[in-house]
Structure 1
Amino acid sequence: MARMLIGGELVEGSRTLDVIDPCTGAAFTQVPDADEGDVERAVAAAKAEYPAWSRIAPESRGQVLRAMAAKITENAEELCALLVQETGRPMALAQFEILHLATSYLNYYAGLEVHPELIVEDDTRRVELHRKPLGVVGAIVPWNAPIYIACSKIAPALAAGNTIVVKTAPTTPLTSLRLGELWAEVVPAGVVNILSGGNDAGALLVAHKDVAKITFTGSTETGRKIMASAAPTLKRVTLELGGNDAAIVLPDADVATIAPAIFAFAFFNSGQVCAVIKRLYVHDSLYDAMCEAIAGLAASATVAPGSDAAAEFGPVQNKAQYQKVLHYLAEAKVAGKIIAGGEVTEGPGYFVPLTVVRDVSDGSPIVDEEPFGPILPIIRYSDVDDAVVRANASPFALGGSVWGSDLAKATAVAARLESGSVWVNQHCALDPQVPFPANKQSGFGVEGGIEGLYPYLALQTINVAKPGVAA
C-alpha cells in the first residue's frame, strides 16, 4: 500500500481509504486515510524543521527543488502510469502535467531569490524592506490536476523558506504519495510532508494553530469554509476557486482557424479545469459556422479510458462530480439545443460524451454556473459591448479570452474583462513565470511569477537611525 510522508518517514497510518478507478467505478487499491494524529505529526515535523530550512541559503533551497524536479523526470514513466490509472485521462495529458507543468514550476522557483530592498537612505536613517518566510504552510490540492497544482504550491513555499504539509484530494492520492516516497531521498526530513485522506484531514490542517498559511485550490463553497476556519488564528490564505470562463469571438475572427483551438481549450481534461472555456460568446455573423465547427470536432472525438491508445478524452474523475455533470446535462437539454453528445451510454465508469449546446442564453444554469465537465454552451450576441457586459456579469472571474483577427481590437476588448487572467487568441496558457490571479468569487491571492512567491513571505521594515540622530 502507498504510504504518507511524515517527517521524512513513510507512514501507513491507522485507517484506509479506497481509491476508485473512474473508468470502472470500482476500487482498485487503498491508501492511508490520515487521522488527527497523522496531521499533528506532520505539522510538528514541519514546524521542527522550519528554523533550519528557513536559514539555509536560497541557492541551497533551489538545489533541493531541482532535485525534486529531477526525481519526477527520472521516474516519469511510473508517475504518468499512476496518474492515468487514478484519473482515467489519456497518457499524453498525464505526461503534459507531470513532465511539463510540474517540473517547470519546481525549476522556475528554484531560481528565484528575494533580497532586502533599500527604501530610504539619507543623513538621518536607513530603511530596508525585508521579506521573511512564514513558517508551516498547509496546501490542500484538488483531484483534477493533482501533481501540477501540488508542485505549483510546494515550489514557492519552499523557495521562500517555509516548510509544508500537503493534503491530497481523496480521489487522486496515488501519484502524490509516490512522489513523497521519491522525494524522501532528496528533501530534508520534515520540509515536505504529504498526507492522503478525506476532508476531515484538510479541516484539521486549516484549523491547526501551528499552520501559518493555507493555500487551497478547489470549489468556491469549500473556499468559504476555509476562510471561516482560518479566521480564529488569522492565517494567511490563498484561494484559487471556481471559474466560469467566458470566451468572446469577435466578428472579424476566422472560424476555421480558431475553432480547433477553442475546442481544445473548452474540453481540455474533459472540461475538468477551473480555467478552461465554460461559456462561448459568438457574434451573430459567425454563430452558425462556429456551432457547426465545434460540434463536428466534439462528435469526432474519442472518449475512452486513458489506458486505451486511441483515447483523446477520459472520464469524469469521480462519482460525485459525475452526478453533477449529469444534472447539468439534463439542464442543457431543456435550456438549448444539443448539437453534439448529450447522451450517456450505459456501462461501467463515469464517461460523458463531449457535449455542445447552442441556442442557449444567459440566465440558464448551464451558462451561469460551472458544470466542471465536458459541456460547452455557445451563446449568440450581436453587440460586442453587450457581450463584455454579459461575460462580466458572472460572480466568477478567474480567466477569460477574446478571439479575433485584429489583435489591437481584441486586446482592447480583453482589457475590459474583469477576470484575473485574460488571453487573446488562446486560453488557459499557464506559465510559471506569469502571475495567475483570481478575482471576485474565484478567490484571491496569486500564484505564478515572482508575485506568486510574495504570499509565502511576511513583510518587515528595518528602520535604522544613524549616529547623532537619536534624541
Structure 2
Amino acid sequence: MAGSTSRTVHDIFQSMEYGPTGASAATAQAWLESRSRALGLFVDGRFLLPADRQTRTLTDAKGDSVCSVICAVEQDVSQGVTSAASGFRSWSALSCHQRAKVLLKWAGALGQYSQCVVEVSDLSQASCSPASLVRLAQYYSSWAQLRDTLLPQWSPLGVVEVVVSDDCPLYSLMLKVLPALAMGNSVIVVPGLSTAPSALLLAQLLTEAGLPAGVLNVLTGSVVNLGATVAGNPTVNSVTYSGNKQDGVALCKTTAGAGVAVSVSPVVGASCPFIIFESADIDSAVDGAIEAAFKKRKEIQWVLCVQESVLDSVVARLKLRMAGLKCVALPSEADRSLVEAAVQGAQQQGATLIQACGPPATGLQYPATVLCGVAPSSPCVTSPPPGPLLPLMSFRSNTEGVTLGNHSPHGHAASIWTEDLTLALEAAKSLSVGSVWVNSHSVCDPSLPTSGHKDSGTCTDGGQEGLYQFLQPSSSPPSLTRSSPASLDYDKFGSAGSPAIVPTARCVCVAPKFYQQFVGGKSCKSESGGSVAVQAPDGTSVLAYCPDGGRKDVRNAVEAASKVQPGWMKKGPSARAQSLYSLAKGLEAKRQEMAASISAQTGLSLDEADQEVELSVGRLTDWAARCAQGQGSAPAVPQAGTALSLPQAMGVVGVVLPDNKPLLSLVTLLGAAIAKGNAVVMVPSQRYPVPALTFIQVVQASDLPAGLVNIISGARDQLTVALANHNVIKAIWYWGSPEGCQYLQHTCTGPFKALWLHSHEEDARWAQPSTSLLEETWHNATQWKSVWIPTA
C-alpha cells in the first residue's frame, strides 16, 4: 500500500484490499458551490430555484451533507411540461443529422468535464464511468442519424417522462434518456435523490452542447408522487421507470387510468445467480464472485450456486481470498439491522459463515459474509437485504444448476462459469434472465438488447429493439386515450354475472346454434355450464349461444398452454412456419363457412365477409414467412469478446380481442404470437364471438399441438380479471374499455406482465397492409436476451 515499506505485492494480493484512489472532490465541490449547494430544477434550458419549496438533503457515504434538492410542486410540473412540449416541436423539426451532431458534441463535453462528472456521481453515491456515458452518447447518436433510414414508418412519441428511484445508478437513467432523445422526443427526468446532482449536471452539459431549450427538463422531488403528477398531465405521452421494484409498483398503481403507457425496469435489488460448474476455472470464478458481491456499491444481489464436486475447493478459496477484506459501508442503520436479521435467520436454518472478521459492535460497517448451506427458500436467497452478503447453495448436475438459477423470482441477469462452451450456451439459453455473462459479470453495452424476464420489468433496453418504447407507428393513433382515472373498485371489477337465459314464447324459424369453446385441444363447454345469448345484427333475435367462460376455464387453458409452450418454442422456425401455412390452408378450405359466420354475426355482406377471410389467409401466410426473420445477431461491441442477442418467446400470452374485424384481428394476433413460439389464451369479442368460435374448427384440423391455442368466450371484464391474476401469463394484449386498461395497469405488477393496451377498439390498420402494425405486433411477441462471452 502507499506509504508502507513492510507490505509486499504478494501480501496485498493475498488480502485483496482496494488501494487508495487518491481522488479528491475539489471539482465537484466547486460546481456545487457555484450553485450554493442548493440544487434547483432544470427547465427550459436553465436552472431554476423557486422559493418556498420543501427540500431534501443528500448525504455522502460518511453521512456528511452534500447539497439540498428541492421538491417540485404542481406549478413547477406545469412549467416543465410546457417547456418540454415546446422543446419537442423544435427538436423534432431538426434533421436526423442535426440531432446526431448534438449528441456527439455532448460526448466530447463529457470527455472535457469527466473529472467533474466522476466526482459529482461519487459524492452522491451514484458512481458511473464517463467512458460508459460516452459510449452511450456515441451509440445513440448513430441511431439518431439513421432513424429515418432504418425506421421509416415510426415517429417519436412526443414528451417522454423518465423516472428513476433514489437508489438507481446513473447509467440506468441515461440508458432511458439518450435513446428517447435520439428518436426525437423531448424528455422530463424525475431523478432519485442520489442521481439528481448528476442528472442536473448532465442536463447542463447537454444544453451547452446545443440541445434546444426545453428538450431535456429535470424536476426533482419525491419519485412516486412527482412522477405520478407529471404522468397525469395530458401532454405527457409515455412514462418509463428504472430502479427498485417497490417504487415501480407504486408508480404503476398511482398512474393507472391516466391513459398513458408505463414501462418498468426494476434494475435495483434483484437476486441473480452466480453459477460455478465443475468445468470452471475455480480461481477466476472465486475472484469474480468476490468482486461482484463485495464491491462498494452494487445494484443487484448475487446468489452463489456451486456444483457439489468442486464445493470444497470453492469454499477453501473463498476463505483464503476473503481473509483481510475490509468491512463494507452500509447506507443506514436500518440496512444494518436487515443484514443482521438475515444472517441470524440463515444461521438458525443451519447456514455457516465465512467472514474476514467479526462485525463491529456499532456503526454502518459490516464484514463481507458468505452464508454457506442456505436453502433455496431462505429469505436471504429470495429477497436478500442490501449489504455484503453472498448466500451459497450447491447442486449436483448441470441441469439442476440451471433449475437452481431459475429459482429466483427475478429475471435480471446471471453469471455462469465454465470452460465448456457447449454447456455455457445451453445454460445461457435455458436461464430465464435478460443478460447472461459467461466467465464474467456486470458487463454492459447499449448495443445489446435486454428484456425484463419474470419480475424484472416489462420493457426492452438497448439495441434497436430498445428504441421501440420511444416510438409509435406513424400511421396509427395513440393506443390509449388520455383521461382522469375512474373511481374503480378493483376488488369488484369483472364480478358482474352474465345475464340469465330464460325461455321465451317467441317463435323462431331457425333454432340458435350452441357453440363450444376450445381449451387444451378440445371443444368443450364452460366449467360453469352456463351460456351467453349472442344477438343478431338487427338486435331482435338470438343468433347463437356461446359458453360463459370464467376463472376455472382460464386456469385450465393456462395449464394446457404452459405444458406445450416450451416444446413449441424449441421447434425450429421452419417447423412453426409449416404449421402456420397449414393453418392458412385450413382457413382457405373453410372460406365459405367462415364468411357466412362473419356475415351473420356482423351484418356485413357476403362479399365483404369473404374479403375479410381472404385477408386473414394472407395474414397467416405473412406470419409463416416471418418465422425465419429476426433470429438474433452478434452485435459488434467495443470490449474484447463475443456478444449474442437472442430473441425468445414471451411464454403464455393472454389476448382480449376487439370487436372490429373479429376474424382478421384474431389471426393477426394469433399468428404473431405462435410464430415467435408463444402459446395463447384468447378471449373473443364479447359482441361478435361467433367468427372466433367457428375458427376453432380450423385450429382442430391443423397440426398445431393441443393446448397451444385456447379460445374462451364470455364476459370480457370477468375473463380479463382471470388473465390478470394468473401468475403464469407473461403478457396481456387488450382491446377494450378504459376501465379495463386501468384495471390491468393497477393489477399486473406482481409479477409484472408486459401490457399492450388499447382503450379504443377501432383500428383501421387491421385491413391495411401496414408494415408498422406487423412490426409492432412482432415486437410485442418477443423478449430479448443478451449473452456475453469474453475472450483474452
TM-score, normalised by the number of residues in structure 1: 0.85
| 1:339 shift after superposition | 0.3
| Partner residue in 2 for 1:156 | 179
**Of the candidates 316, 322, 325, which is equivalent to residue 301 of structure 1?**
325
Corresponding residue for 2:254?
229
Unmatched segments (≥5 aa) in structure 2: 1-37, 477-767, 771-792
Give yes or no for the alignment of 1:115 onto 2:148: yes
From 267, 281, 284, give the equivalent of 1:257.
Answer: 284
Q: Which residue does 1:173 correspond to in 2?
A: 196
Question: What percentage of residue pairs aligned between the two structures are identical?
Answer: 26
Output the CA distance in 2 between the equivalents of 1:224 and 1:253.
38
Displacement after TM superposition at 1:327 (Å): 3.9
* CA drift at 1:116: 6.1
C-alpha displacement at 1:362, in angstroms? Answer: 0.7
Give the whole-Å Cα distance in 1 for the aligned partners of 2:162 and 2:433: 24
Q: Which of 227, 230, 235 in structure 2 is aligned with 1:202? A: 227
1:346, distance to aligned residue in structure 2 (A)? 5.0
Deviation by residue 1:250-290 (Cα, 9 ceiling, x = unmatched): 121121132212222233443x213xx61111011111221
* Cα offset, 1:65, TM superposition: 1.4
- Corresponding residue to 2:129 among 71, 76, 98: 98
1:428 to 1:28, Cα distance in 2 relative to 1, 3 A? closer
Report if the CA contact (8 A) 1:146-1:168 is conserved.
no
* Distance in 1 separating the partners of 2:255 and 2:450: 23
Residues of 2 paired with 1:378 and 1:464: CA distance? Answer: 54
> Which of 73, 76, 88 is 1:38 aligned to?
76
Question: What SS does the corresponding residue of 1:212 show, helix, strand or coil?
Answer: strand
**Which stretch shows the higher mean deviation, 288-297 or 277-286?**
288-297
Determine the C-alpha separation between the residues in 2 that align with 1:372 and 1:285.
30
Task: Check the 8 A contact 1:129/1:459 in 2, yes or no.
Answer: no
1:171 is displaced (CA, Å) by 3.7
Q: Partners in 2 of 1:332 and 1:172 — Cα distance? A: 34
Distance 1:295 1:321 in 2: 25
1:399 alignment counterpart: 413
Shift of the 25–230 alpha-carbon distance from structure 1 to 2, 3 Å rule, reads same
Q: 413-422 or 222-231: which moved more?
A: 222-231
8 Å contact 1:86–1:171 — kept in the other structure? yes
5 Å-filtered alignment, 1:274-423, equals 274=300, 278-303=302-327, 315-317=329-331, 321=335, 323-335=337-349, 336-340=351-355, 343-345=358-360, 350-423=364-437
Equivalent-residue separation in structure 1 for 2:317 and 2:88 (angstroms): 54
Q: Deviations for 1:42-99, whole angstroms, at most 9, x for unmatched residues?
A: 1221112212212211121111112222222211112212222221x8xxxx4xx231
Contact 1:22 1:86 (C-alpha < 8 Å) held by counterparts: yes
The counterpart of 2:49, out of the listed 5, 8, 12, is 12
Q: 1: distance between equivalents of 2:213 and 2:333?
A: 36
Q: Taking structure 1 as reference, are residues 262 and 162 closer, same or farther at Cα in structure 2, changes over 3 Å only?
A: same
Structure 1 CA distance for aligned equivalents of residues 101 and 385 of structure 2: 41
Change (3 A) 1:339 1:114: same
In 1, the alpha carbon distance for the partners of 2:100 and 2:325 equals 42
Deviates further, 241-250 or 317-326 = 317-326
- 1:141·1:169 contact (CA, 8 Å) conserved in 2? yes
Distance 1:190 1:196 in 2: 16
Q: Distance in 2 between matches of 1:202 and 1:342?
A: 43
Instruction: Spell out the pairing of 1:39-78 with structure 2 (5 A cutoff).
Output: 39-78=77-116
CA distance in 1, matches of 2:134, 2:462: 13
TM-score, normalised on structure 2? Answer: 0.52
Shift of residue 157 of structure 1? 0.3
SS at match of 2:330: coil
From 95, 107, 117, the counterpart of 1:79: 117
Contact 1:339/1:355 (<8 A) preserved: yes
Which one-letter code corresponds to 2:148 in the other structure?
H
SS of residue paired to 1:208: coil
CA offsets 1:321-377 (integer angstroms, 9 cap, x no match): 5554444344344342110258542565x4333221111111110111132332111
With over 3 angstroms needed to count, the CA separation of the structure-2 counterparts of 1:59 and 1:19, relative to structure 1, is same
Query: How big is each residue's C-alpha offset from its partner over 1:122-153, in whole Å with a ceiling of 9 and x where there is no partner?
Result: xxxxxx96111001111112344542122111
CA distance in 2, matches of 1:13, 1:300: 50
Q: Mark the CA change 1:448 to 1:382 in structure 2 (over 3 Å): closer, same or farther.
A: same
DSSP-derived class of the 1:19 partner: strand
The 8 Å contact of residues 19 and 171 in structure 1, kept in 2 or not, is answered as: no
Say if 1:40 and 1:347 are closer, same or farther in 2 by CA, change over 3 A: farther
Q: How far apart in 2 are the matches of 1:326 and 1:437?
A: 34
Q: 2:293 aligns to what?
A: 266
2:242 pairs with 1:220: no
Rounded Cα–Cα distance in structure 2 between residues aligned with 1:342 and 1:448: 41
Superposition map of 1:423-462 within 5 A: 423-461=437-475
From the superposition, tell whether residues 268 and 160 of structure 1 become closer, same or farther in structure 2 (CA, over 3 Å): farther
Describe the shift of the 1:333–1:81 C-alpha distance in structure 2 as closer, same or farther (beyond 3 A). farther
Q: Distance in 2 between matches of 1:417 and 1:443?
A: 16
Query: Is 1:434–1:449's contact at 8 Å kept on the other side of the alignment?
Result: yes
Deviations 1:276-328 (A, max 9, x none): x611110111112212323433443345xxxxxxxxxx633456655544443
1:426 aligned counterpart, secondary structure: coil
State the alpha-carbon separation in 2 of the partners of residues 13 and 292 from structure 1.
Answer: 59
- Aligned in 2, Cα 1:320/1:78: closer, same or farther, shift over 3 Å? farther
Give the aligned residue type for 1:292. A
Contact 2:324–2:356 under 8 Å retained in 1:
no
Change (3 A) 1:72 1:330: farther
1:432 is paired with a residue whose SS is coil
The answer to whether residue 59 in structure 2 is matched with residue 21 in structure 1 is yes
In structure 2, the CA distance between the partners of 1:212 and 1:246, relative to structure 1 (3 Å rule), is same
**Cα distance change on mapping 1:68 and 1:342 into 2, 3 Å:** farther
Separation in 1, partners of 2:449, 2:346: 34
Q: CA deviation at 1:226?
A: 2.3
Distance 1:254 1:146, change over 3 A: closer
Q: Which moved more, 1:415-424 or 1:196-205?
A: 196-205
> Is contact 1:53–1:191 with CA below 8 Å preserved after alignment?
yes
Structure 2 counterpart of 1:46, which letter? A
Partner SS for 1:218: strand
Distance between the aligned counterparts of 1:45 and 1:318, measured in 2? 38
The answer to whether the aligner puts 1:240 opposite 2:265 as a matched pair is: yes
**Conserved? CA contact 1:316–1:352, under 8 Å:** yes
The alpha-carbon distance between structure 1 residues 132 and 149, as it changes in their structure 2 partners (threshold 3 A), is same
